Every structure is written in C-alpha cells, then in structure tokens.
Chain A
C-alpha cells in the first residue's frame, strides 16, 4: 500500500545541517493500523509529512499504491493527496466556516457539486455522531468534537489512507479512547489504512496491529505490536513499555525477572505457584495489564532471592510452564537517579 524506501530528510539551519530522518524504510499493508511511536524530536512528524509530500524527502522514495510520488507532477500530487487524508493534533479546522462547510472543503477542492457535497457531509457527520452540530462553528465545539469533525472532513473524499499526526495528544484519556475507537471502526467498516503518529504507548496498544519505533530519526524497532510488547529490544521501546521503578533502591539486590503473559495465562496465579513450587520468596517490583489488539497482556517484574540455586529452580519452573520471561527487565527511571 505504502512503501517508504530509504527516506532521509535534512534541514538546513544557521548552524549547519540537521538530519531529521536517516534512512527510513517501512512497509505499510492495506488495512493496517500502523503506529509510528517515538519521543518528541524523534522525527515522527517529519516522517508522516514525507508520506504525503508536505515535506519533500531529501532522498529516498515514497511508493503509494505502486506509484512513486516523486515522479508525479504537482497537479497529480494534489490529486493523490485527496486519497491520503490527514488529521492533526491541533485539529486545524477552518475557524470561519461551519462544521458542515468544513467537511465540504475537501469536496470543493475535488470539484464535487455543492448539493452532493452537503449530502455526503451530513452522512459523515452522522457517522462521527455530530449530526446536530452542522451549523456550529469550531469554536463552539470541545476538543473531542473538533477531532470528530476533522475525521469526517478527512473521510469526505473517500481516502485510502488516513494519516494521524498526534491526533489524540491534545485530548484527555477518555476522549482519546473514544476517538481511537472511532478510528478502529473506520478501519474495519471502510477499510481505510491508518497510520498513527504518537508518543503514547497506550495509543499503540489500544488500536495498532503494527508499530515502528523511531528514535533519533531512525527506525530502531519494527513489527507486530504483540511481538514488540512481549520482547522490546530497543532502549526506547523498553522505556516506553516497561514499568518504571521510580528510582526506588532495593536493600537486597537480586536478579530481576520480567514475566510477560497473554490472555489465558493472565488468569493463572503464576507468582503464587512460583513461590509455592520453589519454596522461595519473590519481591514484586511492578506489574500492569494492558489490552493489546483486543487481548489482555500483562507483565510482572519480580525480584528473585539472591541464592543462585533457587534462581535456577525458579527459571526452570517458568520454562516448564511455558511462561515468557526475561532477565533484568527493570528500567531505572534516570530522572530520579541523581536525587537518590
């Protein structure tokens, strides 16, 4: 559907060149909800703007449905942009237009006759649940409502891809959830491929099936959300996924294990069984459960006794139970390290 090949982007500034993207290659399949996650300054927003050529990549190719965007004329590119819509963190609605007129805007650009455009706009408003707001102006709406209007506007020209640039970052958790639900529904019912740029793991967890982790302008990790959650390899991904220790220092240092479990095993009393079976105490340092791709995932970080024999016994027990674990699964929160 969309293929990014060796995308690089450098910005010229007064103190030399800044390299925002370094050799990024990604493949997004039709029907994916593809998350691109990274901390601020990682280059995510530049990357998403390279996909629809709002930013021209310094080198590399963007292939959209088999067509190299760089080979298109300006006019053809404008046409293509109508099949890859975009929503933004700041909603970016036209303040002087009513909700209905905002949704009509892309159809005006696409030269859809006015009466037809209005009809379609009303349908879309119904879909995002804001039918009664068609005469309202954006300033009269809440953040969540504005984003719903922006989504309706983005869908007006029947796009194949929806690019979401930190679309939920300005919203509270409850509204974020409902907007993500709406996006999921759009993906399912309309078959729109969705690319989500975010710095929040919970967004990826709730909705994405694939994810790429970006750091320093590079893809440091990429794959199914489930796989990356189970075994994050990169420093950034580990930081975002693993629970933080908040700088608490242990009196007794022992090896840490991160036990990861999915669906069925979440209901088994893994830790109790472990201590009963191995006759040794463990210290629970952190735990959480999350809903990822409709399945419950959880992780517990435990500290094992210092005695090597019992550590070995415990590991063997976990292996025999086919429970996924890894050693050293704790991340010290460096922000606190200096104060301790």
Chain B
C-alpha cells in the first residue's frame, strides 16, 4: 500500500468520525427533548397534551419514513443555505442531523416508557414538579437505556454517512464509491469495509460496557 493511500484512508477516517460524532451529539441534543416531549405529552403521562403529541409525532414519522438518500438530496437547498455548500463532510452533517433527530426522539421515548409508572407517581407524591420529575427521575432512571440508544444512533449515523458518499459526502463512504464502485478496486473497497466494521465494533463494545456498568438494576 502506498503512503498516498494510507493518507487517504487516514483522512477518510477522520472525516467519517468527525461527521458521525458531530451528528450523533447534535442529534442527541435535539432528539432528547423531542423524546421527552413525546413521552410527557402522551395520554396518561406527566402532562398529557394530545395536539402537541400528535403534531410532533406526525413530523417525526414523516422524516423517519423518507429513505436517507432521498432525504439527503431533498435537503440540498437547505444544506446550501446553512453551510454554504452541498458537498463535503460538514454539509453531510446537516442531513445526518435532520435524519437522526426523529430517530433519537423515538428511541428516547421508548426508553422513558420502560420506567415504572409507580416511581413517577412516588416522585409526584413527594412534591416534585414536572421539571424535577424529568431531570431527577425520568432521565437518570432511563440512563442505561439512553446510553444504549446513543450507541445505536452512532452506528445508524455511521451507515448513513457512508451512503452520503454517493453525493460527495466525504469520508470513508466517498472512498468506497470512488474506488470500489467506479474503479472496481476491490482491495480498497475491502479495506473500507474492514475499517467501518472496526469502528462499529469498538463503539458498540465500549458503549454497551458503559451502559451495563451504569445500570444499577442488576
């Protein structure tokens, strides 16, 4: 393997990790409140509000039902508006965040649903207001499950980011498309696949370990 190729993979790796980290973190920051709102406004929950729940639910479902590659293309004007360009890793982040936020929202919602309603009732009986129930009970109690959700989001975004390679998204995806797909260079294709698998494995393992360690339920 030439030094050029090694450099190319190094750059691709950095770009991919950059996209995935930025998008996962941003999507989680936006998705967490989305999930909390979905949860607390649902029927019989903390502050039920059918209109908010319905509208938010529909928006989430619409975005989630659009295949990522189509969403990416559809968002190009929006991306250009925000980052000034529609190619490269920063541009890809925009569509990754838009695609992943509703995904995170649903995942957070289902993590919160696992919490025993009795615990919430007890917190209310102790005089907690809604906000205290959310940040002192709901989120800490769902903690391990939320971490698992974060890991799943990470691997999903990694997959999406590779798809973005078809539209000049940058990172390992672009290398795979340019060399593996257009030039039939199987060796480079294979290396890309191996690198992606390694990244997923590392994060999966580390994330699950952290989740298991933080869970005090045995």
Contacts of A90 in B (CB 8 A): 116, 118
User: A86 vs B124: C-alpha distance in the bound complex, in angstroms?
Assistant: 10
Could you say which of B61-69, B73-81, B128-136, B180-188 contacts chain A? B128-136
Q: A79: CB under 8 A from chain B?
A: yes
| Number of A residues with CB within 8 Å of any CB on chain B | 31
Q: B6: CB under 8 A from chain A?
A: no
User: A50 vs B124: C-alpha distance in the bound complex, in angstroms?
Assistant: 13
Taking each of B121, B124, B125, B144, which has the highest tally of chain A beta carbons within 10 Å of its own beta carbon? B125
B116→A109 contact, CB < 8 A? no
User: A106 vs B132: C-alpha distance in the bound complex, in angstroms?
Assistant: 11
B217→A92 contact, CB < 8 A? no
- In whole Å, how far is B212's beta carbon from the nearest beta carbon of chain A? 13
Kindly identify, within residues 30 to 77 of chain B, every residue whose CB is under 8 Å from any CB belonging to chain A.
none
Contacts of B140 in A (CB 8 A): 94, 96-97
Q: A110: CB under 8 A from chain B?
A: yes
User: A92 vs B125: C-alpha distance in the bound complex, in angstroms?
Assistant: 11
Please, what's the 1-or-0 string for A83-106, where 1 marks a CB less than 8 Å from any CB in chain B? 001101010111111000000011
User: A184 vs B133: C-alpha distance in the bound complex, in angstroms?
Assistant: 31
A92→B127 contact, CB < 8 A? no
B119→A92 contact, CB < 8 A? yes
User: A163 vs B126: C-alpha distance in the bound complex, in angstroms?
Assistant: 11
Kindly identify, within residues 161 to 218 of chain B, every residue whose CB is under 8 Å from any CB belonging to chain A.
214-218
B122→A88 contact, CB < 8 A? yes
User: A3 vs B143: C-alpha distance in the bound complex, in angstroms?
Assistant: 41
Known contacts A82-B126, A105-B126, A106-B126: A88-B118 contact under CB 8 Å: yes
User: A105 vs B141: C-alpha distance in the bound complex, in angstroms?
Assistant: 13
Please, what's the 1-or-0 string for A285-318, where 1 marks a CB less than 8 Å from any CB in chain B? 0000000000000000000000000000000000
Contacts of B215 in A (CB 8 A): 96
Kindly identify, within residues 137 to 156 of chain B, every residue whose CB is under 8 Å from any CB belonging to chain A.
137, 140-141, 143-144
User: Which B positions have Cβ atoms within 8 angstroms of A?
Assistant: 116, 118-119, 121-129, 132, 136-137, 140-141, 143-144, 214-218
